[in-house]
Amino acid sequence: MFDKLEDLLIRYEEIMGELSSPGIADNQARFRKLMKEQSDLTPIVNAYKEYKECKETVADSLSMLEGESDEEMREMLKEEMNTAKKRIEELEHELKILLLPKDPNDDKNVIVEIRAGAGGDEAALFAAEIYRMYVHYAESKRWKVETMEMEEIGIGGMKSVTFMVTGQGAYSVLKYESGVHRVQRVPETESGGRIHTSTITVAVMPEAEEVDVVIDDKDIRIDVCRSSGAGGQCVNTTDSAVRLTHIPTGIVIYSQTEKSQIQNKAKAFQLLRTKLYDLEQQKAHDAEAELRKSQVGTGDRSEKIRTYNFPQGRVTDHRINLTLYKLDKIMDGDIQEIIDACIAADQAAKLAKMNE
């Protein structure tokens, strides 16, 4: 581990030297690449430098203790040494986590797809509430949310909704939300007062760049049609809606949220690229089934990950056995505690696998 840290320290110093050289900003592609690498290495380098300083403190304290006779001074040196030793242990753990292989998608924006599952109208109502939960969470992080597709039902529910979250590290955080979310409550549509169980599925996909997925023109069928509106002035009288069909996979994308056909076409291709990229990612996960099982929330979307129990005001994440009694706050977007616990459990599982 320490040989690797020394190599990273040397690389960091090389990057800093190149960034300070005259004319580097003239090559914007190179400049951006170096800035990204510097940003990734900074936390590791800072922790390693502090680790080395603490080791020096311990060595200096031991050396000074040998020739020190003053009892008060000896106590002070021992205290300084013990503090440094404790910090060394903490930093060793931090460095192990910082050196874990990074998911290449972690820095990407995400496209989130929520679909109502079992439970009819109640599932659609819950899908709309989970959508609002994520929107509130994204707003608290100062991320941008853009709705891409939405199929609503008359009572305020959503059969499905697809939206994009743009923000630094969005995928690294939201990837733990993929899976089946279950709600237990008395539905507003139920007069008998019986508790029902309904489900929705959440798919969190890293946004695919054009370089990630190449789409062959012959594999695509493009249809344009009139957007459906709410009537009156809302009706779009031009053929601006776009439907893309990817013939090899059968994936169909329908985009009508923008006013122009060009914008809807661009949005539809963006969503198609992301779905095709996600399909490849899922195949890779299936090929590494054992690895997926050892990690938290990065795999099977048919897995029931969380239950929202309204009568008891609790939310339980089944992957990490975490139960919180603050359902109202969570539904209002306060999900950071759950995400932090998932990240910690994922890191612990990866560390354990690394030490096998």
Q: Are 157 and 124 in contact (CB under 8 A)?
A: yes
What confidence score (pLDDT) does residue 296 get? Answer: 53
Strands 220-225 and 144-152: unpaired
What confidence score (pLDDT) does residue 191 get? Answer: 64
What is the rounded (10 degree) CA torsion for 327, 156, 137, 320? Answer: 50
Beta bridge partners of 206: 110
Beta bridge partners of 316: 307, 323
Q: Are 220 and 271 in contact (CB under 8 A)?
A: no
What confidence score (pLDDT) does residue 294 get? Answer: 45
What confidence score (pLDDT) does residue 232 get? Answer: 38
What confidence score (pLDDT) does residue 280 get? Answer: 80
User: Among 187, 47, 42, which residue's Cα sits nearest to residue 118?
Assistant: 187
What confidence score (pLDDT) does residue 139 get? Answer: 94
Positions in the chain short of pLDDT 70: 189-192, 210-212, 226-239, 284-302, 355-356
What confidence score (pLDDT) does residue 168 get? Answer: 87
What confidence score (pLDDT) does residue 353 get? Answer: 76
Q: Token match 């939405």: residue?
A: 150
Q: DSSP class of residue 166? A: E
Q: Are 294 and 276 in contact (CB under 8 A)?
A: no
What tokens appear for 284 in the block?
């890779």
Q: What is the DSSP string of 298-340?
A: SS-TTSEEEEEETTTTEEEETTTTEEES-HHHHHTT--HHHHH
Beta bridge partners of 180: 201, 304
pLDDT by residue (tens digit) across 108-129?
Answer: 899 999 999 888 888 999 999 9
Q: Token match 């000074």: residue?
A: 64
pLDDT by residue (tens digit) across 60-75?
Answer: 888 888 877 888 888 8
What confidence score (pLDDT) does residue 285 get? Answer: 65
What confidence score (pLDDT) does residue 270 get? Answer: 82
What tokens appear for 150 in the block?
């939405």
